[in-house]
Amino acid sequence: MGETREKRNSQNGSLSQHSRDSEMNPNEKEPKAAVLHKNVGLISGISLIVGTMIGSGIFISPKAVLEGTGAVGPCLCVWAACGVLATLGALCYAELGTMITKSGGEYPYLMEGFGPIVGYLYTWTTVIVLKPSSFAIIALSCAEYTTAPFYPGCTPPPVTVKCLAAVAILLIVLVNCLSVKLASYVQNFFTAAKLLIIIIIVVAGIVLLAQGNTQNLKDTFKGASTSFGSIGLAFYNGLWAYDGWNQLNFITEELKNPYRNLPLAIVIGIPMVTVCYVLVNIAYFTVMTPSELLNSPAVAVTFGDRVLYPLSWLVPLFVVFSTFGAANGSCFTAGRLTYVAGREGHMVKILSYISPKYYTPSPALIFNGILGIIYILPADINTLINYFSFAQWIFYGLTALVLIVMRFTRKDLHRPVKVPLIIPALVVIVSCYLVLAPIIDQPAWEYLYCAIFMFSGLLLYYPFVYHKFGWTRRVMRPITMHLQLLMEVVPPEKTE
C-alpha cells in the first residue's frame, strides 16, 4: 500500500511538473480550434486567382471564340473585352467580400441581399452541377493533353482519358484533404509553371512578329460574324477561359487580412491574366491562319510543333501542369462553398464537418470529387461549357444586383472598398445579355433543362430546410454519425 501511494504521489508530481513546464514553455503549441484557419496570404491569393483562371481555357477556347466571331480582329477584341468584364465583376466582388467577410463566394451575398431561397437555389445549382462539372471539364482537359503524346496521329481512346481524369480528381482531393498549406504550395508551383509556358509562347510570338509573320494580322475584320447569338457564344467561351476571377471570395475566412489582400490580389491577378491571354492569341495567329487554328485538335500543341521544335514536347507538358493547377484551385474553392452551405443548413450537416487533424473540410471536398467523377462520364466538353456558363452568369448578374440593392437597404455596413454603381449595373446588363442572347438566337433544350434543374431544388428546400420534418432528422442522424466515424471529422467550433 505504502509503495503504491508513493508511486502515485511520484506520478502526480511528475504530471504537475509537466504542466508547469508546459505553462513556462512559450514554444509549446496550444490545441487549435476545430475551424478553418487563416493560412492564405497575398501571394497564395494571387496564385489562386491566376492559377484557376489560366487552366485549359486558353488552350481550348481560342477555337470556339474564333468560330463565334468569324475573324481575327473581333476574336482579339472579345478576348480583351472578356478581361475587362472579369475585372469589373471582380471589383464588385471585392466590395462585397470586404463588406461581408464570409467564405462561400456568391452564397453569403445572395443570402444577405435576397434571402435564404435564392441562396439555397445558388448552392443547389453550384454544389450539385456547376462546381463539379467545372472540375470535370478541367480534369478531362488535363487527361487529354497527358495522353496525346502516347497516341501520335490519332485521338486517344475516351476510356483512357476518362480514367486518367478520374485519377487526377482523386489525387487533387487527397492533397486538399491532407493540408491547406500543401494545397497552397501545389497551387503556387503550378501557377509558376503555367506562367512560364505562357511567357515562352508570348516571347516566341514577339520574335515571329519581328521577323515579319504578320500576314494573319492584316485586314482582321474581314468576314466577321454579326449574329447576336454567335457573339454571345464567343463571349461564353472566352469568359470560360477567364472563369476563376471570383475564386478568392470562396475562401475569405481563410484569407490573411482580407480587407487588404482580397482587393489587391484581384487588381494584380486579373489584368495580368488579360494581358497574357491577348498576347498568347496574337502569338497563335503568327503561325496559324484562322482556318488552321479552327482545324487544330490542340492549338497550343500545334503552335509548339511549328515554333519550338525540337523542344515542342514542353508545351503539352506545361499544359498538363496548367490544367492540373486549375483543377486544384477549383477543388479548393468548391470545398469551401459546400462546407459553408452545410454549416448554414442548406446541405446535409456532415458536409460542414472538418478534420480535427488537418483542419480541412474533407467531407465537402470528397463530395465534390465524387460528383466530379460522375460528370466525367458525358463526353462532350463544349456542351458542358455552355451548360456551365448559362447558369453561372445568372448568379453573377444576381450578385452584382445584390451590390446595387444593398447600397440602399444596408447603408450601415462598413465598406472598405466602394466601387461606382455604374460598374455593377454594367455587369448586370452584360449578364442578362449572356443569358438571353443564345436562347433567343438558337433555342436549345439544354437551357430549359438547366432552368428546370435549378428550380427543382425547391422540392427539397421546403421539406428538408424550411419545415425540417422530424423524420428527416431521424433518418439522417445515424447516417451522419457513421460517416463522422468513418472520416474522423467533427462539427466546426463557433469562434468569434
Planar angle of CA 429, 430, 432, nearest 5 degrees: 65
Q: What is the pLDDT along the chain (496 residues), one digit of tens a residue?
A: 444 444 444 444 444 444 444 444 444 445 555 667 787 888 888 998 998 888 766 776 678 888 888 888 889 999 999 999 999 999 999 999 999 989 898 999 999 999 999 999 999 999 998 889 889 888 988 888 888 778 877 888 889 999 999 999 999 999 999 988 899 899 999 999 989 989 999 999 999 999 988 888 888 888 777 777 778 778 877 887 888 888 889 988 888 888 888 999 998 999 999 999 999 999 999 988 888 888 887 788 788 888 888 888 888 888 889 889 999 998 999 999 999 999 888 998 899 999 888 889 999 999 999 999 998 887 565 566 666 667 888 999 999 999 999 999 988 888 998 999 999 999 999 889 888 877 777 777 778 888 888 888 888 888 888 877 777 778 888 998 999 999 989 998 765 4
Domain boundaries defined on the chain: 42-487
| pTM recorded for the entire structure | 0.83
Residue 23 makes CB contacts below 8 A (sequence gap 6+) with: none
CA distance 40 to 37: 9
Predicted pLDDT of residue 204: 92
Q: How many CB atoms lie within 10 A of CB 462?
A: 11
Q: Is 382 exposed, middle or buried (0-12, 13-18, 19+ CB in 10 A)?
A: middle
Closest CA to 84 of 300, 359, 275: 275
Predicted pLDDT of residue 119: 92
Which residue is listed with cell 463530395?
A: 367
Which residue is listed with cell 435576397?
A: 114
Fold adopted by 42-487: Amino acid/polyamine transporter I (1.20.1740)
Predicted pLDDT of residue 338: 92
Predicted pLDDT of residue 207: 92
Residue 127 makes CB contacts below 8 A (sequence gap 6+) with: 334, 337, 338, 341, 347, 368
Predicted pLDDT of residue 60: 63
How far separated are the first and last CA of the chain, in Å rounded? 50
Predicted pLDDT of residue 35: 67
Residue 328 near residue 172, CB atoms below 8 Å: yes
Residue 33 makes CB contacts below 8 A (sequence gap 6+) with: 493, 495
